[in-house]
Structure 1
Amino acid sequence: MQSLLALQSGELKGAVSLKLSENLTEFPKEIFDLAETLEVLDLSFNKLSSLPADFGRLKKLKIFFCSENLFKVLPEELADCPLLDIVGFKSNQITTVPAKSINPNLRWLILTNNNIAELPTTIGSCKRMQKLMLSGNRLSTLPEELGNCQNLALLRIAANKLHELPQWIIMMPKLSWIAFSGNNFSKTPAVETLSLINWHDLEINHLLGEGASGVISKANRTIGDETSEVAVKIFKGNVTSDGLPEDEMTAYIAAGYHPGLVNLIGQIALHPEDKKGLVMDLIPHHFYNLGNPPSLESCTRDVFPTDMKLSEKQIVNIAKTIASLAAQLHEAGIMHGDLYAHNTLIDDEGSTLFGDFGAASFYDKTTTETAYALERIEVSAYGYLLDDLLSLKDEGLSREVYTTISRLKDACLVSAPMERPGFQDLVDVLEKV
């Protein structure tokens, strides 16, 4: 984090990246002194409500984050930066998105957790758009022009007021990750309550990890004279970029048992702050993440350590486990929405555990055509996972296995969603490998 004082004193001259968070109420004019070099600007966590009329002087700006501020209108000045690639205005107070505010060069737009009721038709001019984050707004419709964004791969529209999921959306050629829970058309089914576990029977030890929806800790659970180690996830209760935490919990419970899922033990009862939570098996220490989340550059594709290699056994086991689990989810009408390597844990033998239901959505299996298409959107995400697995192969991968998985990958990624295989089709092929 840099300081306003350093900026004003000229110490940051020539900077390519600038991050300021000092309760700013006005855009510091000294930022323009960096116009010849500045590519990344982060003014999140301030009290800004407008941009200067000459914001376009930042001709080299590619990435602009302005989340957690006080904007009520998405600034039209954003359109004046010719190279602007990524824009984030999460958690402001935005109600209006003017037609001019949509920069046609955008590849990634984040407007999560605002008060937007309508998007302009100019969103369709963003031919490069790959990632669009709109969860937690008041949208009741989406402009049909959005269908012109043929490169759109990830769409988050959860926790809005949409009355339907338009058919043109689910037929988009590259759409692979979608979250739509918490809308008028998305009905969350009743699920069986898990065993209730008294919060006072748990002793929290230490933090294991924290995500947008909640905090996971290692804990001891005592039943009578016996104590066992478990993992505890406490949900934060706020809208995330993917959707609502309660929908995540419901989807995880509805998924049922599968060897590729971390086993659920029960639900938290009597939490002192009345928070919701789950108790799960503790993941063995020898498991590790298959991949890392997408970077600003890769946008929708996971990134991996440069020295990472996978054996044939690992590749086949991962491919089989994820296909089998996804088939089970879609049989239950559950769209995971975030089928990625970074949500996958593996070990050296290829044993696989899949998780993070934060983007999960329920859909009606009786609406045959829509259900068919939604499964094949997720199949596209699986195709990218197969592509990642093949990119990590070591020299031991046989030509036969490589050819089979490569053909499956190609079938999963055809541009016409209805021509892709279903997950059970994939399972049937992989059983022979």
Structure 2
Amino acid sequence: MHTLAQLRAGELSGITRLDLSCGLTEFPAEIFDLANTLEILNLSGNALSSLPDDLHRLTRLRVLFCSDNRFSQLPACLGQCAALTMIGFRANRIVDVPAAALPPLLRWLILTDNCIETLPPELGERPNLQKLMLAGNCLKALPPSLSQCHRLELLRIAANRFDALPQWLLTLPSLTWLAYAGNPLETEADHAALEATPLIEWSSLRLEQRLGEGASGVISRAGWRRADGSEQPVAVKLYKGEMTSDGSPLHEMNACITAGMHPNLIRVEGRIHGHPYGQQGLVMQLIDPSYRNLAGLPSLDSCSRDVYAEECRFSAEVALKIAQGIASAAEHLHQQGITHGDLYGHNILLNDQGECLLGDFGGASFHATTDSLETQALQRIEVRAFGILLGELLARIDLGLSDAQRDALEDLERRCCQPDVLTRPGFAEVVKQLRTM
């Protein structure tokens, strides 16, 4: 994090990224001194409510973060920034998104956790739009012009006021990661599964070291004292209350429970009961430390694509085992009326033998289990996510894959990613084909 004193003293000359979070109420004019080099500007965590009309003087600015500020309108000056591709205004007070605020090269727009009721039709006139994050607003509809955004891959509209998904949305050729939980349109979670989940008293848990923290909660290693006096090592996830980019953490908890048992899903032992502050949480299977994330999160440059380590390579046996396990887990989820919504390498844990677990249900949504065109489309949107994952695995196989196997897998990848949503295979067919290999 940089300081205002450094900026005013000229110590930051030549930098390409500036991070300022120091209670700012006005845009520091000294930022314009960096116009020749500045590409990423992060002003999150301040008290700003406006930006200068001549922001376009920052001619190299590609990325702007202004989350956790006091904006009530997305600033119109953004639309004049010719190089700007990514805009993040999470957790402000925005009610108005003027068409003038949308830069021509817009690729990634984050407006999570605001008060937006409508979006301008001009949003659909941004052909590069790839990632659109709108969870936690007051939207009842999307502009029909978004049907023209054929590059749109990730859409988050959870925790809004949608009574139905627009039919054109389910036909978008590139849509891959869709989250819509917490809207009136969503099918209810399986209350029988929720009620059947054992309650685990907080007093029987002994928290040990923290294992990690995400947008939805904190995971810790713990000891669970069973009724027979024995102690079982477990993982405890305590959910946060605030909105995440995917939606409500409590919807994530319900999806984890409703998902049920599968060898490629993390097992839920029970729900926490009696937390002293009323915090919601789950007790889950403790994952062996030999497991690691398959990939890293997308970067500012990769946008909707995971980042893999340069040295990440697989044998054909391991890659096929990963593909079979994740396809089987996704088939199981769809049978329970759940789309994962975030089927990505960075949400997959694996060991050296290719044993893998699909985690992070933050983007999960419920849908009807009846076989309708809408259900088929929702499921096949997720099939595209698997096709992308399969391609990433194929690109990293070193040994053991015959020409015939590669041809068959590349054909499966193409079929999973074809632009006509309903002609993609379902996961039952995907699993069947993978098992023949």
* Fold shared by both chains (TM-score > 0.5): yes
Are 1:23 and 2:23 matched, yes or no?
yes
Q: Report the counterpart of residue 209 of structure 1 in structure 2.
A: 212
Matched, 1:404 2:408: yes
Displacement of 1:401 after TM fit? 2.4
Q: Which residue of 2 aligns with 1:95?
A: 95
Question: Partner of 1:229 in structure 2?
Answer: 233
My pick for the range that moved more, 362-371 or 22-31, is: 362-371
Secondary structure, aligned partner of 1:51: coil
Residue 225 of structure 1 and its aligned partner are, at CA, apart by: 2.5
Of residues 259, 269, 282 in structure 1, which corresponds to 2:273?
A: 269
Match of 1:257 in 2: 261
Gaps of 5+ in 2: none
Question: What is the CA deviation profile of residues 295-320 of structure 1, one whole-angstrom value per residue up to 9, with x for unaligned ones?
Answer: 11100111111011111111111111
Matched, 1:219 2:222: yes
Describe the superposition over 1:62-95 as per-residue Cα deviations: whole angstroms up to 9, x where unpaired.
0000000000000000011100011000000001
Once the two structures are TM-superposed, the CA of residue 191 in structure 1 deviates from its matched residue by: 3.8
Q: Which residue of 2 aligns with 1:304?
A: 308
Partner of 2:51: 51
Q: State the distance in 2 between where 1:426 and 1:327 align.
A: 9
Contact persistence 2:78–2:102 (CA under 8 A):
yes
Report percent identity of matched pairs: 48
Query: Which amino acid is the alignment partner of residue 134 of structure 2?
Result: L
Q: Would you say the 8 A contact 1:162–1:184 is kept in 2?
A: yes
**Counterpart code for 1:43:** L
Kept after mapping to 2: 8 A contact 1:373/1:417 = yes
Whether 1:6 aligns to 2:6 is yes
CA distance in 2: counterparts of 1:87 and 1:159, whole angstroms = 21
Aligned residue for 1:416?
420
- Partner secondary structure for residue 398 of structure 2: coil
Give the Cα–Cα distance (whole angstroms) in 1 for the partners of residues 16 and 263 of structure 2.
47
What residue number does 2:176 align with?
176
For 2:85 and 2:286, the matched residues in 1 are separated by: 40
The equivalent position to 1:382 in structure 2, one of 386, 405, 417, is: 386
Letter in 2 for 1:374: L
The 8 Å contact of residues 191 and 253 in structure 1, kept in 2 or not, is answered as no
Moved over 2 A (4+): 395-401
* 1:150 alignment partner AA: H
Structure 2 distance, partners of 1:237, 1:311, is: 42
Opposite residue 120 of structure 1, the aligned amino acid is P
Q: Is the 8 A contact 2:176 2:381 kept in 1?
A: yes
Is the 2:314–2:399 contact (alpha carbons within 8 Å) kept by the matching residues of 1? Answer: no
- After alignment, is 186-195 or 383-392 more displaced? 186-195
- The Cα shift of 1:104 comes to 2.3
Q: Secondary structure at the match of 1:324?
A: helix
Residue identity in the other structure for 1:172: L
Equivalent residue number for residue 42 of structure 1:
42
- Cα contact 1:67–1:91 (8 A) shared by 2: yes
After superposition, residues 260-339 of structure 1 pair within 5 angstroms as: 260-339=264-343
What one-letter code is carried by the residue in structure 1 that aligns with 2:185?
F
Match of 1:119 in 2: 119
1:146 Cα shift? 1.1
Q: Which amino acid aligns with 1:205?
A: E
The match for 2:435 is 431
State how far apart, in whole Å, the 1-side matches of 2:404 and 2:252 are: 39
SS at match of 1:427: helix
Change (3 A) 1:267 1:416: same
How big is the shift at 1:367?
A: 6.4
- Stretches of structure 1 lacking an aligned partner (at least 5 in a row): none
SS at match of 1:406: helix
Report the count of equivalent residues: 433
Give the stretch that moved more between structures: 366-375 or 40-49. Answer: 366-375
Secondary structure, in 3 states, of the residue corresponding to 1:388?
A: helix
Shift of 1:376: 0.6
Report if aligned partners of 1:188, 1:247 keep a CA contact under 8 Å in 2: no
Residues 238-247 or 172-181, more deviating: 238-247
Return the letter of the residue paired with 2:183. N
Amino acid at match of 1:416: D
d(CA) in 2 for partners of 1:216, 1:392:
31
What is the TM-score normalised by the length of structure 1? Answer: 0.98
Distance 1:164 1:183 in 2: 9
Q: Does the 8 Å CA contact 1:191/1:250 hold for their aligned counterparts?
A: no
Aligned partners of 1:297, 1:9: CA distance in 2, in Å?
A: 31
Q: Which amino acid aligns with 1:208?
A: L
CA distance in 2, matches of 1:296, 1:397: 33
Q: SS where residue 394 of structure 1 aligns?
A: strand
Q: Distance in 1 between matches of 2:294 and 2:79?
A: 38
Distance (Å, rounded) in 2 between the aligned partners of 1:164 and 1:102: 26
Matches within 5 A, 1:345-356: 345-356=349-360
Q: Secondary structure at the match of 1:317?
A: helix
For 2:291 and 2:370, locate their aligned partners in 1 and report how far apart those are by CA, in whole Å: 38
